[in-house]
Structure 1
Amino acid sequence: MSEALWAIGRGTGIASLILLTISVVLGIVTRSGRPLPGLPRFSVTLVHRNVSLAASLFLVVHIVSLMFDSYAQLTLLDTVVPFFGSYRPLWQGFGTVAFDLLLVLIVTSLLRRRLGPRLFKAIHWAAYAMWPIALAHAIGNGTNGTEGWFLMLAGASVAAVLGALAWRLTTRFIEYRGVRAELTPRIRPTAPPPTRLETR
C-alpha cells in the first residue's frame, strides 16, 4: 500500500509540474494579445484556466497521497508551513512555498472582480515565482529528481518558459491593449450641421 501511495505521489507530482509549466507558458501567451495558430485569444485564456485547474487537482492528490504514505511522513503542518518537514526539509519546504503561492493565486482568482485588475495583476505575478520554486522542489525532493529522463524533462520545461518569455520581450510583442487600439476604428469628429443663418 505504501509503495502504491508513493507511486501515486510521484506520478501526480510530475503531472502537476508539467501542467504548471504549460499554464505558465499559456499565461505568457495570453498576455501577448495574439492568438495561437488555430485558436482565438479567448480560447487560449480558457485553456490556460483549465490547465491551471488540472494542475491544482493533481497537486492536491500529490499532497494527500504523501500524507498517507509512511515513508514520506508528510504532515498537515508541512503542507502550510515550509522547512519543518522530516524528509529533506529544505527541498520539501520549497514545495510548501510553491503550494502556498498557488493557494494565493486561486483565492485571488476567485476574488478577481473585488480586487480590481491592478491588484490582481500584481498578485498574479507570484505565478512566475511559484514555478521555479516548484521545479527546484521536484529536482531536490523527488525520488527521480536527479535521473537523466527527469532532468531532460526539467530542461525542456525551462526552455519552454524561457522561450515564451524571450518571445514576449521581443520587439514584435504587442500588448492586448495595443492590439485593441489598432483594431478599433478611429472616428473623426464631424462638423455640426449648419444652422439656418449659415444656410442663407
Structure 2
Amino acid sequence: MSEALWALGRGTGVAALLLFTVSLVLGIVTRSGRSIDRLGRFGLAELHRTASLTGVALVVVHVVTLLLDPYAQLRLVDLVVPFLGTYRPLWLGLGTLAVDLLLAVTAVSLLRDRVGPRVFTAVHRLTYALWPIALLHSLGNGTDAGSLWLDAVAGGSTALVAAAVAWRLTPSFRGRGLRHVRTDRELVR
C-alpha cells in the first residue's frame, strides 16, 4: 500500500505541475483578450479555470497521499509551515510555500466577485511566484529529482511559461491589456 501511495503522490504532483503550466499560459492568453481557434474568449477563460481547479484537486491528492504514506514521513505542521520538514527541508518547504500561495490564490479566485478586481488582480499575480516555487519543489524533492523524464517535463514547462511571460511583458501586450483593465473598471463602476 505504501508504494501505491508514493506512486500516486508523485504522479499527482507532476500532473498538477503540468496543469498549472497550462493554466498559467492560458491565463496569459486570456488576459491578452485573444482567443484560441474556436474556443473564444469565454471558452478560453473556462479552460483556464478548469485547468486551475483540476490542478488544485491534484495537489490535494498529492498532499494527502504523501501525508498518509509512512515512507514520506510528513507531519501536519509540514503542510502549513514551510521549511520545518525533516526530509530535504528546503525542497519540502518550497512545496509547503507553494501550497500556501495556492490556497490564497484559489480562495480569492473563488471569491472574485466579493473581493473586487483590485484584490483579485493583486493576489492572482502571486501565480507568477507560485509556479516557479512549485517547479523548484518538484526538481529538488522526491525520488524522480534528476531523472531524464522529469527534467524533460520541467524543461518543456519552463520553456512554455518563459515564452508566455516574455510575450506578456511586451509593449504591445501591455497596451492591449491596459485597455481591458479600463474596461473592467468601467464595468465595476
Give your verdict on TM over 0.5: yes
* Larger helix share, 1 or 2: 2
Number of aligned positions between the proteins: 181
Which residue does the alignment assign to 2:67?
Answer: 67
Cα 1:118–1:140, aligned 2, differ >3 Å: closer, same or farther? same
Using the aligned pairs only, state the percent identity: 57
Q: CA RMSD in A?
A: 1.7
- The aligned runs of 1:152-171 (5 Å cut-off) are 152-171=152-171
- The 8 Å contact of residues 91 and 141 in structure 1, kept in 2 or not, is answered as yes
- The 8 Å contact of residues 30 and 41 in structure 1, kept in 2 or not, is answered as yes
Structure 1 segments (4+ residues) deviating >3 Å: 178-181
Gaps of 5+ in 2: 184-189
Cα 1:79–1:178, aligned 2, differ >3 Å: closer, same or farther? closer
Which residue does the alignment assign to 1:6?
Answer: 6
Cα distance, 1:37 vs. partner? 2.0
Cα distance, 1:75 vs. partner? 1.3
Alpha-carbon separation, structure 1, partners of 2:165 and 2:37: 18
Does 171-180 or 125-134 show the bigger shift?
Answer: 171-180
Cα distance, 1:171 vs. partner? 4.4
Cα distance, 1:146 vs. partner? 0.7
- The aligned runs of 1:2-151 (5 Å cut-off) are 2-151=2-151
Q: Secondary structure at the match of 1:116?
A: helix
Greater gyration radius:
1
Task: With the length of structure 2 as denominator, give the TM-score of the two structures.
Answer: 0.90
Alpha-carbon separation, structure 2, partners of 1:104 and 1:134: 15
Cα distance, 1:77 vs. partner? 1.1
Gaps of 5+ in 1: 182-200
Task: With the length of structure 1 as denominator, give the TM-score of the two structures.
Answer: 0.86
- The 8 Å contact of residues 32 and 176 in structure 1, kept in 2 or not, is answered as no
Which residue does the alignment assign to 2:179?
Answer: 177
Q: Secondary structure at the match of 1:34?
A: coil
